[in-house]
Chain A
Amino acid sequence: DAGVTQSPTHLIKTRGQQVTLRCSPKSGHDTVSWYQQALGQGPQFIFQYYEEEERQRGNFPDRFSGHQFPNYSSELNVNALLLGDSALYLCASSSQAGTSYNEQFFGPGTRLTVL
């Protein structure tokens, strides 16, 4: 049973460009959350998707947008990249069903470097 998978592993972009990151949730999970982890910091919540809609959003600008597909996979899009967007982007999946709805399982992340 595959866990949470993310692609690509690493990405290098220049300021002003746009980037799309992808996530496939753990089998049986229907909810995807995205987090940004700067070097030496804890993950910061960006937003969460459930039933193909944005369910919650953290304190991130509109340059950050997302999408969830019918198969529960998700994309994170960042427009007009800034140097400060350089970070590890983590996807976490969970299930709204059952008693384990609190448990969020993280993927390996995508390391984004903005030059």
Chain B
Amino acid sequence: QQQVKQSPQSLIVQKGGISIINCAYENTAFDYFPWYQQFPGKGPALLIAIRPDVSEKKEGRFTISFNKSAKQFSLHIMDSQPGDSATYFCAAQTGGGNKLTFGTGTQLKVEL
């Protein structure tokens, strides 16, 4: 059962542009929503995370927008750089320290 749906599957953005990746979830018990960045041959790296009591969280060029009523959240990468080219995964978790349920991933390519 796909509990976290992620789109798009792939994304091409010009350098300096905004990259937007969207996720939707079904389980209302989820209470922690992290985003991970993964480069080829590497493990996922925690990028930024949000809890449902806030609608937005910003860290540098990365922003999570969260819509609890729609059960959707998104990652915005401002001023996208070629070094941002990677696969991005959204995830969701219930309770403290429990298993992460991942989306299917978005392969981002930032072109010069």
Q: Do A and B come from one complex?
A: yes
Q: Which residues of A contact B (CB under 8 A)?
A: 4, 31, 33, 35, 40-45, 48, 50, 56, 58, 90, 92, 94-96, 101-109
Question: Does B96 lie within 8 Å of A106, measured CB to CB?
Answer: no
The interface-forming segment of B11-19, B38-46, B60-68 is B38-46
Question: Does B42 lie within 8 Å of A96, measured CB to CB?
Answer: no
How does the 8 Å CB contact mask read for B67-104 relative to A, with 1 for contact and 0 for none? Answer: 00000000000000000000001010100111111111
A42-B89, A43-B44 known; A104-B96 Cβ under 8 A: no
Residues of the B chain whose Cβ atoms lie less than 8 Å from the Cβ of A40: 105
**CA A45 – CA B101 in complex, angstroms?**
7
**CA A4 – CA B46 in complex, angstroms?**
13
Count CB-based A-B contacts (< 8 Å).
Answer: 64
**CA A13 – CA B62 in complex, angstroms?**
40
Question: Does A108 lie within 8 Å of B43, measured CB to CB?
Answer: yes
Please give me the residue from chain A that is nearest to B45 by CB atom.
A106
**CA A77 – CA B111 in complex, angstroms?**
42
Residue of B36, B96, B97, B103 with most chain A CB atoms under a 10 A cut-off:
B97
**CA A8 – CA B32 in complex, angstroms?**
31
Question: Does A102 lie within 8 Å of B43, measured CB to CB?
Answer: no
Residues of the B chain whose Cβ atoms lie less than 8 Å from the Cβ of A42: 6, 89, 91, 102-105
**CA A56 – CA B49 in complex, angstroms?**
22
A-B CB contact pairs (8 Å), 20 listed? A33-B99, A33-B100, A41-B105, A42-B6, A42-B91, A42-B102, A42-B104, A43-B89, A45-B99, A48-B98, A48-B99, A90-B44, A95-B97, A96-B96, A103-B34, A104-B97, A104-B100, A105-B46, A106-B45, A109-B43
Please give me the residue from chain B that is nearest to A90 by CB atom.
B43
List the 10 shortest-distance A-B pairs measured between CB atoms, nearest first.
A42-B102, A106-B43, A45-B99, A101-B96, A102-B32, A101-B97, A108-B43, A106-B44, A109-B43, A43-B102
